[in-house]
């Protein structure tokens, strides 16, 4: 199991490193809204959204395969729904992370009167886009009409307001101040496209979720440090996941950090997994305000 886990970490990390080296950010895909609206990938059978590293893997697969949907199924789910995967179609590998306690560890912990240590593992499995299937009921392949920008802004505005975050407008820079716990962003007139103001605020709110009173991430890193790069990576993906959940196409906020991200990923093959997981939690934290759950 260890070899499988390590090879999957390395396989995914090396793929993302290659994309970054080519100047592409895996969380900012070249969406053609007319072909496939930008949204989060979901399981077509259960309606459950995929999270963490699987979002990046499935987004990349949609672009590479030219699919028109962000909806996915396992081979068994396609058959169970009365359809089937077309012959010759190649699936997309994603992963499931969990923990277990080895039997010998349980026995040793009991003898030493302590809590048993758990071991993390990754399990890989294969999913297929609904475009790769035939005979599925219509509910599995609904037609999604892309929203125009004027329709997207109100939802983003309402979400930002619902968080109750201290968002201060003014100046020429966008940033989050963790000590004083506020977001600062230039006025909307400073942005060529109105939607970019909302993308920027959502990026800074990604940082805001990491405050000690919320998701409590390490935000002590100084500019240029690995800790700073890791936090920026989380905020970048959190913003992308939140934007996509609002049908807003993610954009690049801080491409100048690519070099520091590459350093972090090259030193730790699990870094992108941790960052994507933290980003999913951050996006979920923000989106909970949209539905009044937070």
Residue entry with tokens 């109750």: 164
Cα distance between residue 56 and residue 238, in whole Å:
12
Is residue 100 located within the same domain as residue 153?
no
Residue 187 lies in a domain: yes
Residue-wise pLDDT tens digits, 128-169? 999 999 999 999 987 776 666 677 899 999 999 999 999 999
- φ, ψ (nearest 5 deg) of residue 243: -60, -50
Q: Please report how many Cα atoms fall inside a 13 Å half-sphere around the Cα of residue 149, on the Cβ side.
A: 9
Chosen domain end from 140, 167, 200:
140
- How much is the pLDDT for 3? 52
Chosen domain end from 122, 140, 158:
140
Q: Look up residue 231 and give its two tokens.
A: 């936090």
Is residue 222 located within the same domain as residue 266?
yes
Is residue 108 located within the same domain as residue 163?
no
Is residue 198 located within the same domain as residue 274?
yes
Residue entry with tokens 């790769």: 132
Residue 231 lies in a domain: yes
Q: Can you list the alpha helix ranges (DSSP code H) found in the chain?
A: 2-21, 53-65, 75-80, 103-111, 149-163, 194-208, 226-245, 258-267, 271-290
SS3 66: coil
Is residue 58 located within the same domain as residue 102?
yes
C-beta of residue 202 within 8 angstroms of C-beta of residue 286: yes
Residue 11 lies in a domain: no
**pTM of the predicted structure, to 2 decimals:** 0.89
Chosen domain end from 140, 170, 201:
140
| Containing structural domain, residue 82 | 40-140
Q: How many CB atoms lie within 10 A of CB 91?
A: 17
Residue-wise pLDDT tens digits, 244-286? 999 998 987 666 788 999 999 999 999 999 999 999 999 999 9
Per-residue pLDDT tens listing for the chain (294 residues): 445 555 788 989 999 999 999 888 898 887 777 678 789 999 999 999 999 999 999 999 999 999 999 999 999 999 999 999 999 999 999 998 777 788 888 888 888 888 888 877 788 899 999 999 999 999 998 777 666 667 789 999 999 999 999 999 999 999 999 999 999 999 999 998 999 999 999 999 999 999 999 999 999 998 889 999 999 999 999 999 999 999 998 987 666 788 999 999 999 999 999 999 999 999 999 999 986 655
**Domain total for the chain?**
2
Residue 162, burial from CB neighbour count under 10 angstroms (0-12, 13-18, 19+): middle
Residue 12 lies in a domain: no
Q: Tell me which H or E stretch contains 35.
A: none
């Amino acid at each position: 199991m260890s070899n499988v886990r390590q090879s999957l970490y390395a396989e995914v990390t090396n793929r993302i490193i290659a994309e970054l080296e080519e100047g592409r950010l895996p969380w900012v895909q070249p969406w053609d809204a007319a072909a496939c609206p930008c949204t989060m990938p979901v399981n077509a059978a259960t309606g459950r959204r995929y999270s963490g590293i699987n979002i990046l893997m499935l987004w990349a697969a949609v672009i590479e395969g030219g699919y028109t949907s962000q909806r996915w199924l396992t081979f068994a789910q396609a058959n169970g729904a009365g359809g089937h995967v077309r012959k010759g179609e190649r699936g997309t590998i994603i992963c499931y992370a969990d923990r277990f306690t080895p039997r010998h560890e349980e026995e040793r912990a009991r003898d030493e009167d302590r809590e048993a240590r758990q071991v993390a593992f990754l399990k890989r499995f294969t999913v297929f886009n609904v475009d790769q299937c035939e005979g599925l009921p219509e509910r599995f392949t609904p037609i999604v009409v892309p929203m125009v920008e004027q329709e997207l802004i109100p939802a983003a505005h309402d979400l930002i307001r619902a968080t109750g975050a201290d968002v201060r407008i003014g100046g020429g820079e966008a940033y989050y101040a963790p000590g004083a716990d506020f977001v600062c962003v230039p006025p909307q007139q400073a942005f060529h496209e109105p939607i970019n103001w909302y993308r920027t605020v959502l990026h800074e709110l990604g940082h805001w979720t990491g405050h000690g009173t919320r998701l409590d991430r390490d935000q002590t890193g100084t500019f240029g440090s690995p800790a700073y790069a890791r936090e920026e990576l989380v905020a970048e993906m959190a913003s992308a996941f939140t934007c996509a959940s609002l049908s807003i196409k993610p954009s690049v906020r801080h491409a100048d950090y690519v070099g520091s991200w590459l350093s972090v990923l090259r030193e730790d093959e699990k870094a992108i997994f941790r960052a994507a997981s933290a980003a999913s939690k951050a996006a979920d934290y923000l989106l909970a305000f949209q539905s009044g759950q937070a």
